[in-house]
Structure 1
Amino acid sequence: MSNDSQIRILFLIAEPTNTARLRLQEELREIKQRLLLANQRERFQLEFGFSARSEDVSQELLHFQPHIVHFSGHGTSTGELCFEDKLGKMQPVKPEALAALFELVANQVQCVVLNACYSDIQAKAIAQHIPFVIGMNTAIGDQAAIAFSVGFYKALGANRSPEEAFKFGCVEIQLENIPEQLTPILRKKIVSQSPDDFYVERPPTEQRCYEAIRQLGALIRIKAPDKMGKTSLMNRILTYARANNFQTVTLSCRRLVNRQVATDIERFLQSFCAVISNELGLTNKVNEYWDNQLTPIYNSSEYFKKYLLPNTSRDFVLALNDVDLIFEHHELAQDFCNLLRSFHDMARRGDANSKIWEKLRLIIVHSTEFYTSLDINNSPLANVGLVVDLPEFSREQVQLLLKSYQMNWKSQKIEQLMAMVGGHPYLLKISIDEIKFNNKTFEQFLKEAPTLSGAFSDHLRELLEQLENNSDLRTAFSQVISADAETQVKLHPRIAKSLQRLGLIKLDVIFAKPRCKLYRLYFQMYL
């Protein structure tokens, strides 16, 4: 918003009849007064709506085309904003719904103010699309909510930026001697940067992978719990391969497995071959090469040998991500592993057919080693190729990650961060984003981390939902987080590997412990 442009402000009030009364009219009166006192009050155009319904938001965004959208009312502890239905009763609206709406007006709206309890959950979702979004990280009282609006619009009327106005709003709460100045949170849209800018190498892992992918008929298997950087490493290898004139195809197994093929290996492998044909830009000729008198594995091999590989002019890297989804289907797992193993073996036979198979390199990415249908270490893929078990970041690697964000922390601060989240790449990135881009002090971040209003709330809720949907996992993990430092917890292998796949535990030989302090604190409260 430039200093001489018109600023349109949309103020929406919702106070359902089945919720507690709020002083929303008083807040509106104060906002009007502050804008009337502005040096350039003619710049500000305020439109307000009472008893706001969810459909009113999209109508006003299209009709009034505001630069600032301000909502005052109730919010739930799980992040919904409470609009009104046609009878005036409460109608909760989820964060993802409003975020999707604001995505459609991202080139118009510059700032969103959500003056409602627990609205920071909404703010985080909307800030994916809008430059400045203000929410509340817990319940906020009427007096504090009004004081924040007074300070915010005072500053806005004096041509201050939304970021500066936010600070004035927080100070206004302090001036009123209300101990809630830390409740408002400013979320800023993060400008996309190249993933390479934030990639931290884990030597000698990358170099070993680069050397392996150059080998004829190579097979690389990358395994680690969820969100540990497997896909980033896979993409790094593929970038290296393309730079060395390899042709590459990446397939997520989420695209390969559905109800129709999950119990039928023949249909699955036909689909697998057809998809790779499409990815290579070749005509699908599966039906021409398929002989119903032969096994699906043999037919698939012949399709690769006689059609796909001869029609690729360069050596070819096939990267399969999310292979867990195949391993978990008993009807598919063993035969599919046999097929991949045969691809690798045929390149090493030294016979007349080896030459064509030497063109193919495989990268297989999965989360853990043990599945209900397959123990991969006793499968056809055991002891084959290069196995990469991704470790957590070391303290030195965390330091490199911070430097990529232009943050120079002392050792003590890094140790405090790692005490909370360990060396888990995903948790570290969320931590750094929260502190750097969302106006959080390090102390405030640590205090909020294991709570519903913390930076990890969405991630932790997803994990909690998975545990609540599986009583065996829930019981086992409750046992792990309840144990003291001296108690060793041994879990059934199937349970242990499922929890390890989710990234919730570390295994010390055969004993389980929480992956990090964050998980112990959060799940002790909510599980």
Structure 2
Amino acid sequence: MEHQKSKRIRGVILTAAGLKRLQAAIESAEIQEKNGERFTQEELSERMKVSTKTISRLWSLTTGLDQRTLKFCFGAFNLNLRKEDYTCSDKSNDLNKSFEYIHALENQETVDIYSSEDYIVESERQTQKLIKNSTCYQPLAAVLKYPSGPVPLDSIYYIPRPPIEELAYREITQPGCVIHIKAPKEMGKTSLMFRVLARSKALGYRIVSLDINQVDVAILSNLDKFLRWLCKSASVQLNLEPNLDEYWDRETGSKVSCSLYFKNYLLESVETPVVLALNEVNRIFKCPELAQEFLSLLRSWHEEAQQEETWQKLRLVVTYSTESYIPLNLYQSPCNIGLPLQLPEFTHSQVEELAERHGLNWRQNNEAEQLMAMVGGHPALIRIALYYLCRQEVTLSELLQQAATEVGIYRTHLRRLLANLQENPILTEALEVLLSSESSIFLEPVVAHQLESMGLVKFHMDGITISRELYRIYFSKHLYNGRLRAIHSCNSTYKTFISSSS
């Protein structure tokens, strides 16, 4: 068969130099026009005369735009677009490329599509070709992997949640910054961190990415061992010879030794900023003494960066699950410094877009509403459902009917939450009282916060409610059986903390 080549449209992307020039102009405008207060995403969109999605692509440094769009963005801040501000993009837009690839599989064509703003209309046409009777196109189902763990950088299934990404991309360019990404499990913390690190690498920064899950228990139980592990691991990732003995001093202590090692050895040995990413810091919370000491150390580094030029090279990105209760002094925790990013759930339009990326046409009927009525906008729960629907292993009606049962697709997720509740009778009883109420109620603040941290409840003006119908159905069954039933029947003083919102 003769190969047919698709229309070839080249795009351009910002260079690191172009980004710095544009951000400097934006910051100058913020100082002059808003007394230093940052422009919101909507304000930037209106000023630049481009969509908020375009701004997301602009900051990514990886996705192509057309040159005219870049001129709009620069011109909005009285800048002329220079040749050194952009470079040609030779990568396809991931979504468009995936759709074209699937189309090529069916038609045995070769594809050479380049990303551009002008290509959006054409991509919509190609998307519609993939949709047949509201079911998934077979080649996509054949290669689709079960959604587990972080979303890869090159995946079409990552859905941005503006303005989260834009805030993170801008903040990482600030000297001495701290970004802490928090949310319950499976909300996309590590996926976002990967994209912040990719952005940092595109800017020429050095990356030190450490996963606390990889640290031995014996190391976590000892502050000195943990800080030596931190310094040695950072040295290896920066391609520097570990030199701990020269800086470690028992008389000054581990924290001072670690600080001197980072400042006088690691940071002084590199010319560019260093991004230190610490993933799953919540594991440290299980060791209160280590957590108190280490988190206060990170805070001191952030404070030193306000006056020390060397410390300004260090940029911190910290992720942790809010499901872990943090018994820490508020003023020593990193949670109240830098930029906090609380990951929101998907919106209705984002669920429809993700469904479309799975080859499902949910924009005409109410499938998105049906699924969200059960699981809300929880990213992992939405993706798991789309995986099974795409593979045609179950219909949406069957999926929803079985969702809160032991044979449903969410059984592993629900069992984990149930196990966490069983370890805390106070939380179990509080949730049970909430389940028995037909309206919002008020709980003792600490208990309410812990339930919210697990993703089980949502706050409203008139109290809290169960966060999603999936949990209401499942826990209504399991909190009235066996040991948990006994908790329900006892005359607990806890209920004095609760009053009906009505």
- TM bracket (short chain): 0.5 to 0.7
Which amino acid in structure 2 is aligned with residue 398 of structure 1?
V
Cross-structure match for 1:388: 341
After superposition, the C-alpha distances for 1:50-91 in whole angstroms (9 at most, x for unaligned) are: xxxxxxxxxxxxxxxxxxxxxxxxxxxxxxxxxxxxxxxxxx
**Structure 2 CA distance, aligned partners of 1:381 and 1:389?**
14
1:322 to 273, 276, 280: 280
The Cα of 1:375 is off from its aligned counterpart by 5.2
The Cα of 1:298 is off from its aligned counterpart by 1.2
| Map 1:167-316 → 2, pairs under 5 A | 190-191=144-145, 194=152, 196-256=155-215, 258-262=217-221, 264-316=222-274
After superposition, the C-alpha distances for 1:477-503 in whole angstroms (9 at most, x for unaligned) are: 22222221x24141450x333333332
**Structure 1 CA distance, aligned partners of 2:412 and 2:380?**
13
Secondary structure (helix, strand or coil) at the match of 2:156 reads: helix
**Structure 2 CA distance, aligned partners of 1:280 and 1:509?**
49
Relative to its length, the structure with more helix (as a share) is 2
Given that residues 440 and 462 in structure 2 are in contact (C-alpha distance below 8 angstroms), is that contact kept between their aligned partners in structure 1? no
**Structure 1 CA distance, aligned partners of 2:262 and 2:462?**
41
Which amino acid in structure 2 is aligned with residue 394 of structure 1?
T
The Cα of 1:323 is off from its aligned counterpart by 1.1
Given that residues 374 and 468 in structure 2 are in contact (C-alpha distance below 8 angstroms), is that contact kept between their aligned partners in structure 1? yes
Which amino acid in structure 2 is aligned with residue 523 of structure 1?
F
The Cα of 1:300 is off from its aligned counterpart by 0.9
Secondary structure (helix, strand or coil) at the match of 1:220 reads: strand
Cross-structure match for 1:358: 312
Secondary structure (helix, strand or coil) at the match of 2:241 reads: coil
**Structure 1 CA distance, aligned partners of 2:383 and 2:346?**
11
Which range moves more in the overlay, 501-510 or 420-429? 501-510
Secondary structure (helix, strand or coil) at the match of 1:506 reads: strand
Give yes or no for the alignment of 1:526 onto 2:485. no
Secondary structure (helix, strand or coil) at the match of 1:408 reads: coil
Cross-structure match for 1:88: none
Residues 511, 368 of structure 1: alpha-carbon distance in 2 compared, 3 angstrom cutoff:
farther
After superposition, the C-alpha distances for 1:89-129 in whole angstroms (9 at most, x for unaligned) are: xxxxxxxxxxxxxxxxxxxxxxxxxxxxxxxxxxxxxxxxx
Give yes or no for the alignment of 1:419 onto 2:373. yes
Given that residues 398 and 414 in structure 1 are in contact (C-alpha distance below 8 angstroms), is that contact kept between their aligned partners in structure 2? yes
Given that residues 188 and 438 in structure 1 are in contact (C-alpha distance below 8 angstroms), is that contact kept between their aligned partners in structure 2? no
Cross-structure match for 2:85: none
After superposition, the C-alpha distances for 1:242-294 in whole angstroms (9 at most, x for unaligned) are: 111111121112223614532x3223222222222233233322222111110
Given that residues 257 and 326 in structure 1 are in contact (C-alpha distance below 8 angstroms), is that contact kept between their aligned partners in structure 2? no
Unaligned runs of 5+ in 2: 1-140, 480-502
Secondary structure (helix, strand or coil) at the match of 1:197 reads: coil
2:304 to 332, 346, 350: 346
After superposition, the C-alpha distances for 1:466-486 in whole angstroms (9 at most, x for unaligned) are: 2223323322222222221x2
Residues 431, 254 of structure 1: alpha-carbon distance in 2 compared, 3 angstrom cutoff:
same
**Structure 2 CA distance, aligned partners of 1:368 and 1:189?**
33
**Structure 2 CA distance, aligned partners of 1:313 and 1:406?**
46
Cross-structure match for 1:408: 361
Given that residues 491 and 512 in structure 1 are in contact (C-alpha distance below 8 angstroms), is that contact kept between their aligned partners in structure 2? no
Which amino acid in structure 2 is aligned with residue 516 of structure 1?
R
**Structure 1 CA distance, aligned partners of 2:433 and 2:216?**
34
The Cα of 1:212 is off from its aligned counterpart by 0.7
The Cα of 1:370 is off from its aligned counterpart by 8.0
Greater length-normalized contact order (CA 8 Å, ≥ 6 residues apart): 2
Relative to its length, the structure with more strand (as a share) is 1
**Structure 2 CA distance, aligned partners of 1:500 and 1:393?**
17
The Cα of 1:415 is off from its aligned counterpart by 1.1
- State, as a whole percentage, how many aligned pairs show the same letter: 37
Residues 496, 291 of structure 1: alpha-carbon distance in 2 compared, 3 angstrom cutoff:
same
Q: Structure 2 length normalisation: TM-score? A: 0.62
The Cα of 1:426 is off from its aligned counterpart by 0.8
Cross-structure match for 1:32: none
**Structure 2 CA distance, aligned partners of 1:247 and 1:408?**
42
Given that residues 369 and 375 in structure 1 are in contact (C-alpha distance below 8 angstroms), is that contact kept between their aligned partners in structure 2? no
**Structure 2 CA distance, aligned partners of 1:510 and 1:363?**
35
Give yes or no for the alignment of 1:443 onto 2:397. yes
| Map 1:501-516 → 2, pairs under 5 A | 501-508=453-460, 511-516=463-468
Cross-structure match for 1:471: 425
Cross-structure match for 2:413: 459
Give yes or no for the alignment of 1:488 onto 2:476. no
Secondary structure (helix, strand or coil) at the match of 1:222 reads: strand
**Structure 2 CA distance, aligned partners of 1:238 and 1:448?**
39
After superposition, the C-alpha distances for 1:454-476 in whole angstroms (9 at most, x for unaligned) are: 11112112222222233233222
Residues 315, 487 of structure 1: alpha-carbon distance in 2 compared, 3 angstrom cutoff:
closer
Which amino acid in structure 1 is aligned with residue 369 of structure 2?
E
The Cα of 1:304 is off from its aligned counterpart by 0.2
Given that residues 181 and 318 in structure 2 are in contact (C-alpha distance below 8 angstroms), is that contact kept between their aligned partners in structure 1? yes
Given that residues 323 and 450 in structure 2 are in contact (C-alpha distance below 8 angstroms), is that contact kept between their aligned partners in structure 1? no
Secondary structure (helix, strand or coil) at the match of 2:220 reads: coil
* Aligned alpha-carbon RMSD (Å): 2.4
Given that residues 321 and 365 in structure 1 are in contact (C-alpha distance below 8 angstroms), is that contact kept between their aligned partners in structure 2? yes
Cross-structure match for 2:485: none
Cross-structure match for 1:23: none
**Structure 2 CA distance, aligned partners of 1:260 and 1:370?**
20
Given that residues 208 and 276 in structure 2 are in contact (C-alpha distance below 8 angstroms), is that contact kept between their aligned partners in structure 1? yes
Cross-structure match for 1:397: 350
Secondary structure (helix, strand or coil) at the match of 1:366 reads: strand
Which amino acid in structure 1 is aligned with residue 282 of structure 2?
D
Secondary structure (helix, strand or coil) at the match of 1:281 reads: coil
**Structure 2 CA distance, aligned partners of 1:487 and 1:398?**
27
